[in-house]
A = this chain, B = another copy of it.
Amino acid sequence: MVNKVKEAWAQGRAVVNGWLAIPSAYAAEVMAQAGFDSLTVDMQHGVQDYLSAVACFQGMQPHPVTPMVRVPWNEPGIVGKVLDAGAMGVICPMINTPEQAQQLVWSCRYPPEGTRSFGPIRAGIYGEAGTYFDTANKDVAVIPMIETKEAMDNLEAILDVPGIDGVYIGPSDLGLSYGLKPALDREEPEILRIYERVLNEAGKRNIAVGLHNGSAAYVKKMIGMGFKLATISNDSGILLQAARAAVATAKS
């Protein structure tokens, strides 16, 4: 299977990403029909673990969405497991140094570009069984998160690590790191300047930049600003907001 996220990036297009916190293949099936280009199972803050991620992948597989995972931590065991399960992109939190970014790349790439162990138990299903190995290093998107002051201090060095396809900004943690409250859809000028600097430096290196957002309106704006991977809230957040609005209307 072609990684449509990387294909879009190669063509300069942005992708709209969904975020799965509900540990249910059926909920993933529902999200997979909503028009997202990709769906990311959030194993860090979502109510997800490895087997629920597999179930979500099974739910989304018949649908034209690229399966990705945010892993809970930069740990080779779990990175390998989600790739074997079929993830075509790995978003990894709290990458603050080039050494950490290098470790992430190594975990995602087969030798000689990395140290990933071979055994694509479900991932082999996406392509012809025998050809997964031939294209995996090229197809898998490696996406460290830039979300601390330390990461910003090391920005160029992190972006210079070979093998990085994109970076992803977590606005809440970024804000915390700069002494602000956690929030999405931020408008503080100091934060927007950070976004611009990341877009600029990544752009020089042909690396896509992603952003976690709270609303579709802000997503639209940020795509206009140059972000190439823009997430809208998550499944449970969308559900809660919509259900609250419906109840309010019904009771009005």
Q: Which of B35, B119, B219, B240 contacts A34 (CB 8 A)?
A: B240
Inter-subunit contact B27/A236 (CB<8 Å): yes
Q: How many positions in chain A have a CB within 8 Å of any CB in the partner chain?
A: 91
Contact with B along A166-181 (1 / 0, CB 8 A): 0000101100110101
The interface stretch among A51-59, A154-162, A189-197, A198-206 is A51-59
Q: How far is the CA of A171 from the CA of B30 in the complex (A)?
A: 23
Q: Across the interface, which residues of B come within 8 angstroms of A23, CB to CB?
A: 24, 26, 51
**Copies of this chain in the oligomer:** 6
Inter-subunit contact A76/B78 (CB<8 Å): no
Given contacts A27-B239, A223-B250, contact A119 B172 (CB under 8 A): yes
Q: Which of B21, B219, B251 contacts A121 (CB 8 A)?
A: B21
Could you list some 15 contacts between A and B, CB below 8 A?
Answer: A23-B26, A25-B25, A26-B122, A27-B27, A33-B125, A36-B243, A45-B81, A73-B77, A75-B75, A77-B78, A110-B182, A111-B177, A118-B170, A241-B242, A242-B242
A: which residues have CB within 8 A of B? 16, 18, 21-27, 29-31, 33-36, 44-47, 49-52, 54-55, 58-59, 61-62, 71-73, 75-78, 80-81, 84-85, 93-94, 110-112, 115, 117-122, 125, 133, 147-148, 170, 172-173, 176-177, 179, 181-182, 215-217, 219-220, 223, 230, 232-233, 235-236, 238-252
What are the 5 closest A-B residue pairs judged by CB atoms, nearest first?
Answer: A45-B119, A73-B77, A242-B242, A34-B243, A72-B77
